[in-house]
Amino acid sequence: MTVARTWSVGLTGVLGAMVEVEVDIAAGVPHVALVGLPDAVVRQSVDRVRAAVTNAGASFPQRRITIGLSPASMPKQGSGFDLALAAAVLAAAGVVPAESVDRLVLLGELGLDGSVRGIRGVLPAVLAAARAGHPQVLVPAANADEAALVDRIEVLAASTVGEVLAHLGGRAPLSPHVRGPLAAAPAPPDLGDVVGQSAGRRAVEVAAAGGHHLLLAGPPGAGKTMLAERLPGLLPPLDEQAALEVTAIHSVAGTLPPGTPLLTRPTFEAPHHSASMAALIGGGSGQIRPGALCRAHGGVLFMDEAPEFPRAVLDTLRQPLERGQVTIHRAAGSATFPCRAQLVLAANPCPCASAAGDTACTCSPLERRRYQARLSGPLLDRIDLRVDLPPVTRAAWLDGLAPPETTADVARRVAAARAVARERLAGTGLGLNSQVPGRLLRERWAVPRAALALAERALERGALSVRGFDRVLRVAWTLADLSGRTVPGPDEVSEALGMRLQRAAA
């Protein structure tokens, strides 16, 4: 037989699309033509496949070979097509039966020595193959546990081309891979390490309970980074769907930790302030990769020294934070990534960042205003909680005050508050107070007017925008859930308003 076909998967963002690999072998001058919008990596796969097949002990056909990747209009990127190309060529040459690869999905990069190497994006690729109804997928052994997360398809794993050929030829069939038990996630940093800073600890608890964005401002050493790093530990474990989404994003990005096929805990991303717009949001000149915001989906994006980030880079966060997803457009196409993450910003009060506080500050009032203005008003308007952290006192640090609550203690309150919010929001498709639209807040869960007196005065004098008023209501509901109240009262609204206006007043 001179024509054979098999299947592989191309990725667009975190979504897989089936790619049919067809091979025709005809008489003529030995030549390989690869068609179907391959990128440079896919075009180079011909040389990798030829060397790998030869070094595996098989004979690469010296004839005119035409390889078609369908759909032809979809760009093909990455090295994951190598194994499918090799199998289809050998099936067309009669080295292996054509029917053995006709419905098989093959993923993997080939080494010149005939090894089958791991690739990015195996989980979304296998999910696409299962949705398309394919019965089996053959993946590199390094990606076998990740592929086996999908229950609706049989996973075969191979380390070399020789093993693949023996399986396809029926000489040594591969056994379906069975995923082992998941390793326990490492323990997150404990909130009990943070001494003092009762306002900061309260803000982190409220942020965790309601999914609110947070700004921490204070001098160096006040504990801003420590508090931000402990926020993921207060969040509940990811449910099954969220875990698969987060794992798929990190698989595509190539940041899935070794030996961890499934991410079950909220992630923590902390890009450096020199990060570009593409590094923060996503992009790239070739295949579109998710940025730090997308990798923080379901977890926390922490931006330390936030005013040091370019203002244009920070302002790109505004729309994705509202929508919970980001679409990146390129000339060759577009990719959409989920990015429903909690944003935590940390900022010093001024450029000199004196650890002694305002008493030792050498900055002029104009310099302080310019520094704080690097965080634009539209971005700050999307931050629910803004907290100023004072320097840690000697008494809190050295005099052995009452030990602070641990992460486990606070996480129990957070879980209880989230359960109350889920019960109230049942049937709306929402799960957190931070996600509730303002219209529903005002119409379905109206707060008594008497409790809103302070917030209404702040709105009237321009200290709050309409968006800010709705965000105060969301935080007030979170505070009510934490305190066990069925509806926010004046105390909850007052505390929510104070957490929002504190930084503005400073």
Q: In this structure, how many other beta carbons lie within 10 angstroms of the beta carbon of residue 461?
A: 8
Q: In this structure, how many other beta carbons lie within 10 angstroms of the beta carbon of residue 318?
A: 14
Give the strand pairing for 289-290 and 282-283.
antiparallel
Q: What is the pLDDT of residue 23?
A: 96
Q: What is the pLDDT of residue 357?
A: 58
Model pTM score = 0.90
Q: In this structure, how many other beta carbons lie within 10 angstroms of the beta carbon of residue 221?
A: 14
Q: Measured between alpha carbons, how far is 357 from 350 in angstroms, rounded to an integer?
A: 10
Map out the domains of the chain with their CATH numbers: 3-168 (3.30.230.10), 191-405 (3.40.50.300), 436-506 (no CATH)
Distances (CA, A) of 237 to 53, 241, 246, 282, 298: 44, 11, 12, 25, 10
Q: What is the pLDDT of residue 231?
A: 96
Q: What is the pLDDT of residue 506?
A: 43
Nearest to 78 by CA among 33, 149, 16: 16
Q: Measured between alpha carbons, how far is 59 from 127 in angstroms, rounded to an integer?
A: 33
Query: Which mean pLDDT values do the consecutive 10-residue runs of the chain (506 residues) have?
Result: 89 92 93 93 94 94 94 91 96 93 96 95 96 96 94 95 95 91 82 85 95 92 91 94 94 89 94 92 83 95 94 91 89 85 92 67 84 87 90 60 84 96 91 90 87 90 88 94 93 92 54
Q: Measured between alpha carbons, how far is 117 from 43 in angstroms, rounded to an integer?
A: 18
Q: What is the pLDDT of residue 185?
A: 77
Render 160-218 in DSSP notation, one character per residue: BHHHHHHHHTTSSPPPPP---PPPPPPPPPPGGG--S-HHHHHHHHHHHHHT--EEEE-
Q: What is the pLDDT of residue 505?
A: 42
